[in-house]
Structure 1
Amino acid sequence: MTEIAPAETPIGACGDTWELTVERGKIGEFAAAMQSDNPAYCGPGAIIPPTFLTTAARWAPEGVRVSVGFDRKRLLHGEQEYTFFGPLPRVGDVLTAQERVEDRFSKPGKRGGEMRFAVIVTDFRTPQGELIAQAKATFIETARKSS
């Protein structure tokens, strides 16, 4: 594996923070989209489905997320992982989210060219600053088509 050119967003670079309010209706919509009728995802004390934090990016204000500089036309979402450090967030919780670049690398594509990878970790914290969850995503920029 070869290193990404230094001009790319470097490992360790962080975006700005943004706030995510865990809303009852959004939990319900997410559960319905998953075709889940789990009662834990309903009502005033509902907890989030573990993959709910994927939606956090939807609520991030423009310009606060890290940019890995990949061509969106060649972008794949390769892997997603969640870690929780206590109970799942629930209705009414207010979380602060912040992304950082954890890793960058490249390797040869199966059809030629070079595939580039970026691993982005999003930390979710309570208003007191306690880390309660992390989302780790691997993004892949596919190799350019050979001409």
Structure 2
Amino acid sequence: MEETAMERIKNMIGQEFYRIEEYPIEKGKIREFSMAIMEDNPIFYDEQAAKDAGFRSIPVSLTYSQTLSFWNRNKPPLKILGLDRRYVLHGGQEYEYYKPIVAGDRLTAVCKLEDVYEKVGSRGGKMLFVALKTEFFDQQSCLVLSYKQILIQTKMAP
């Protein structure tokens, strides 16, 4: 009996997809990202403004962790999971910060498959939901951020 995509992926729950170590948090990159998202708060540009606000250095904005995708070129989760990019939708994301991330930090990011489940779509047909969780640890190995992403494949790959 042939294993379904759901069964195959379910067997991967808990599997580490990638680990990126020494991910540097740099002032210039924070500035570029802040400009790209049109952030105007001076704490993202000015060291003194950040310190006056209680930060050790210039903090990252809430979605800055998305830049990690530029560092993960070898093990994209879609490929590992065998999902068909033509049918994958963004199903949501959530961030949970435990400690501010600031310029000068060096992070380790670990992405694992957290869950997989199916639902029937409004037009019939099954949708496959995949939950990925990436945890970020600082240079003292303290958890600073947990990021959860939901991917939805609307049509099962052959």
Scaled by the length of structure 2, the TM-score of the pair is: 0.80
Aligned counterpart for 1:28 among listed residues 26, 31, 34: 31
The CA deviation at 1:61 is 4.2
Q: Which amino acid aligns with 2:14?
A: G
Gaps spanning 5+ residues in structure 2: where? 48-56
The reply to whether residue 79 of structure 1 matches residue 79 of structure 2 is: no
Greater helix share, 1 or 2?
A: 2
State the structure with more CA Rg.
2
| 1:1-147 paired onto structure 2 within 5 Å | 5-8=6-9, 10-19=12-21, 20-44=23-47, 45-63=57-75, 67-86=80-99, 88-143=100-155
Describe the shift of the 1:117–1:15 C-alpha distance in structure 2 as closer, same or farther (beyond 3 A).
Answer: same
Q: Which amino acid aligns with 1:30?
A: F
| Distance of 1:22 and 1:75 partners within structure 2 | 30
Question: What percent identity do the matched residue pairs reach?
Answer: 33
Confirm or deny: 8 A CA contact 2:131 2:149 kept in the other structure: yes
The CA deviation at 1:4 is 6.0
Q: Which amino acid aligns with 1:83?
A: E
Confirm or deny: 8 A CA contact 1:68 1:118 kept in the other structure: no
| Distance of 1:56 and 1:69 partners within structure 2 | 21
Confirm or deny: 8 A CA contact 1:4 1:104 kept in the other structure: no
Confirm or deny: 8 A CA contact 1:124 1:131 kept in the other structure: yes
Gaps spanning 5+ residues in structure 1: where? none
Over the residues paired in the alignment, what is the CA RMSD in angstroms? Answer: 2.0
